[in-house]
Amino acid sequence: MERRFDSARLAPTGFVVEHAKICMDCVFLDVRSAAVSATCPCCGTNSRRVQSRYLRQAADLPIAGHHVVLKVTVRRFWCEAVLCRRRIFAERFGDDVLAPLSRRTGRLETIVHHLGLALGGRPAAAFADRLMMPVSNDTPLRVVRRRSEQPRDELSIIGIDDFAFRRGQRYGTIVCDLERRKPVTLLPDREQATSQAWLTGHHNRRAGSGWRLWRSDRQGAPSR
């Protein structure tokens, strides 16, 4: 008995294909989530009240020698929890399907990761281009680093600097992890006592035996 082809198989799990269009060597798929509700990332409350919609694009696995671009309709929902600090949130699809801000689906990211492990940077990018999955020369290495990086709680080298919540009126302090190049926390002012209190409260819990501290002065030269 002949089975009918299911268009949902063209897209990752959880998506519904609404329209498909082939243009030259690229296939465009208009998809949306199959779920009728979404969960607030702050409080975990399910909501069905749609506030608005917007489009985002993501590359997916090739089909019959064609590049595939997903045009995903993302819904924004009202959070129905009265005490939740986030009134509006965008639906999530899961990191294994389509991570937030990602330009590639989870299954395509896995292929790029394996190519990076096997071939490195430039050879992996050249082979991916032959497979109709074009990426830059640095992308396979970035994916490998991101997936192999182990989460750490310890801070060994931090940087502290002031920044403006509102220029000329309100200033605060930003603390950054210089090894991972990521911000750690924002302090409400730029007073020395506030920074010292934060350092005292986090020294034993997060830094272990100690850390190296850098703070940039107003002339631009970092001081240790």
Three-state DSSP state, 122: helix
92 — pLDDT class (breaks 50, 70, 90): very high
Per-residue confidence band for 209, with pLDDT thresholds at 50, 70 and 90: very low
User: What's the pLDDT at 204?
Assistant: 47
Q: Where are the alpha helices (DSSP H) in the chain?
A: 106-119, 122-130, 139-148, 192-206
Residue 68 CA, distance from chain mean position: 21
pLDDT band at 7 (very low <50, low <70, confident <90, very high): low
> Domain spans of the chain?
13-93, 104-149, 157-223
Q: What is the pLDDT of residue 72?
A: 96
What's the pTM?
Answer: 0.64
Give Cα 14 distance to the centre of its chain. Answer: 19
Strands (E), 26-87: 26-33, 38-39, 46-47, 50-63, 66-78
